[in-house]
Amino acid sequence: MALRFPKKSRRNVVRQTSRDGAPLPRLRDSTRVRLRPRADWHKRNFLTSVLIPSLFTKRSGGPAAPQFPKIREGEISITWIGHASFLIQTHEVNILIDPIWSKWLKVIKRLKQPGFEIHHLPSIDFVLVTHAHFDHLDRRTLRRVAADQPIVVPMGVGNLVHDLGFHIVHELDYWQTVELGPLKISLTPCHHWGARFLADLHRDFGGFVIASNGRTIFHCGDSAYFPGFKEIGDRYKIEIALLPIGAYEAPTGREVHMNPEEAVKAFLELRAETLIPTGRFASALNRSTSHRNACLDAHARVALRKKFW
C-alpha cells in the first residue's frame, strides 16, 4: 500500500508502508556516518593539495558514440558511464542509475569525461538514485533524462526530484521492494550518509538490488565497508556486484568509501559471481587506475574462483 504525500505539489511521490498500513520503523542510524571529521583531518590541506591543483588539471578522456548491443531474452547489458553512473539494459527495459553528466559540482571539477554524451542514451524506462549527494543526484542531468517515467529513491529524497518530469517517485526504506514492469527493485543498507546540505540529515541513502528474469544486479551506491554486506548476500542471490573502489586518504579522515581491498572483501561476503568496480568523480581525489590495480592485486591474493570485470 502506498502512502501519498498530502502536499499537492508532491502527489507523485509515494512511500511504501507495511502490509497493515503502518509506517515501517527507521533503520538508518546504525549505518549513518557522522559528519564530524577525524581528529587529525587538518594535517591534509584539501584546498592546496586537492582543490586548487584540480583546477589546473586538464579533463581527460572523451565521449564516444556508444554501440549498444541487441539484447536477447535472458541477457543483460551493463554500461559504465563514469563515476557511479550505469546504464543497465535487458531485452525489455533500460535502467539508468545515478546519472550525472555535469562537468562541475559547484567548485569541484570533473576530471574524467563521461563515457558518452547524454543524447546518445536510449529511451530510459526507469531511473534509480542511491542518495542525495550532488555527485549522485544531479538535478540538471535528471531533468534532461526525465520523460514521464518512474524514479526510485531512498526515503526523504523524493522532494528533490518530484518536479523534474518523472511520472511517479517511489521512496523506499531498507529492504523494501517495488515492482516496476519486469523488475523488482529493492533498497539495501550501506555505510554512508545522505545529507545534501548540513541541515537535511533526514535524507536516507542506500544501494539497489535489481532483479529481472532470474538475473540479479547489486549497485552499492556509496559505502564504506561494513558488516551489512553479509546480510545483503544472505537475503539476495547476487550475480553481478557494482562496487566503488573509493579513495584512500579521504580529506576529512572519515570512513565513507571502500578502498580496493575492502571492495573485494565486500564482494566475497556478498557471494556475488562477478565484480565490476566503479570509479570516482574527480581523479585528483582518487587515482582510479592505481585503485583498480590494487583491486586486481587484492583479487589475486584471495585466489577467487569468480569473474572480475
Q: How far apart are CA 294 and CA 308, in angstroms?
A: 13
Q: What is the structure's pLDDT at 217?
A: 98
On average, the pLDDT of the chain sits at 80
Joined together, the cell numbers standing for residue 145 give 533524462
Q: Give pLDDT tens digits for 90-141.
A: 999 999 999 999 887 777 777 788 889 999 999 999 999 998 988 889 999 9
Asked if 185 and 177 count as a contact pair (C-beta separation under 8 A), the reply is yes
What is the DSSP pairing of strand 94-97 with strand 183-188? unpaired
Higher confidence at residue 46 or residue 76? 76
The single-letter code of the amino acid at 171 is E
pLDDT band at 305 (very low <50, low <70, confident <90, very high): very low
**C-alpha cell belonging to residue 77:** 547489458
Give the Å distances, CA to CA, from 115 to 99, 108, 232: 12, 19, 30
Asked if pLDDT for residue 200 goes beyond 70, the answer is yes
Of 207 and 111, the structure prediction assigns the larger pLDDT to: 207
Helix/strand/coil percent split, the chain, to 5: 20, 25, 55
User: Cα angle at 136 between 204 and 115, to 5 degrees?
Assistant: 155
Q: Is this structure's pTM higher than 0.75? A: yes
Q: Are 130 and 84 in contact (CB under 8 A)?
A: yes
The answer to whether the beta carbons of residues 35 and 250 sit under 8 Å apart is no
Distance CA 244, CA 83 (A): 9
